[in-house]
Amino acid sequence: MLRIPSTIPGLKFTESGNFFLLAGPCVVEGYDLCMEVAEKLIEITNKFNIPYVFKASFRKANRTRIDSFTGLGDETSLEILQRIKTTTGLPIVTDIHEAEEAEMAATVADILQIPAFLCRQTNLIKAAAETGKWVNVKKGQFSSPESMKHAVDKVRGAGSEKVMLTERGTSFGYSDLLVDFRGIPTMKSFDVPVVLDVTHALQQPNQMSGVTGGRPDLIPLMARAGMICGIDGLFMETHPEPSKALSDGANMIPLHNVERLLEQLLAVHEVYKKIAE
């Protein structure tokens, strides 16, 4: 059964029978860039009747190097996200890293995202849930799918059913990640929407340069595999010029490749629906 977070304000096409999409640049780099991405993705998702949420982090706290870009400033970035939301009508998903950020981010965001490294932080998850917004908890690179039941329980314990989980790979050695697709049905058994992050799942972290690498050439393969395993939603970061992105460009999908990918994934999704009946 496909689980779509249909109570998110402004989310379109929730009755289409299609997976939902969380997508955008890694971090807010400026209004013009965010609007360019949002407008293109609106065009594509309207064409295919895909429920779409715009993604961009207002701050990036988990950086390898001390000189890595962390954002334009909280107030500036949240103002940009609010402009995107007001202009386009799109719902917004953004990361939070500390409990104190939850209420501030919730003034703009419809989904508060818990980064993978922080998926065990009880106070952070509770603070996000208590805002009444949806909470997307990314599975830690160190966590089993089974253990993510406890993150779901923390949200529910705070009085909310608005929780989803995102698979984004498991640490494989020091500098690679692998996705165990057995985790998709395991996490779906918790009766929550399950998302596959097809860009971060292909990261190659902990490089000597202090800049994370990646395998964006494998994004279509990763996404197709997720579809046939029954994911409810797809997460991906995209940029008009990934090589110039200020964060995580090495594992992004170029914006001009998104339409073709989504078209292919809808075809795979139709196959999944037939074999899952």
Q: pLDDT digits over 183-216, tens only?
A: 999 999 999 999 999 999 987 765 556 556 678 8
pLDDT at residue 205 in the model: 67
| Band of residue 119 on the pLDDT scale cut at 50, 70, 90 | very high
Average pLDDT over residues 11-22: 97
pLDDT at residue 25 in the model: 97
Residue 117: alpha-carbon gap to chain centroid:
14
- Residue 159 phi/psi, 5-degree rounding, is 95, 20
pLDDT per residue over 56-111, tens digit each? 999 877 766 665 666 689 999 999 999 999 999 999 999 999 999 999 999 999 99
pLDDT at residue 229 in the model: 96
pLDDT at residue 103 in the model: 97
Q: Which of 69-78, 124-133, 268-277 has the lowest mean pLDDT?
A: 69-78
Average pLDDT over residues 113-121: 97
Which residues are within 8 A (CB) of 209 and not within 5 positions of it... i.e. 6 or more apart? none
Residue 264 above 60 pLDDT? yes
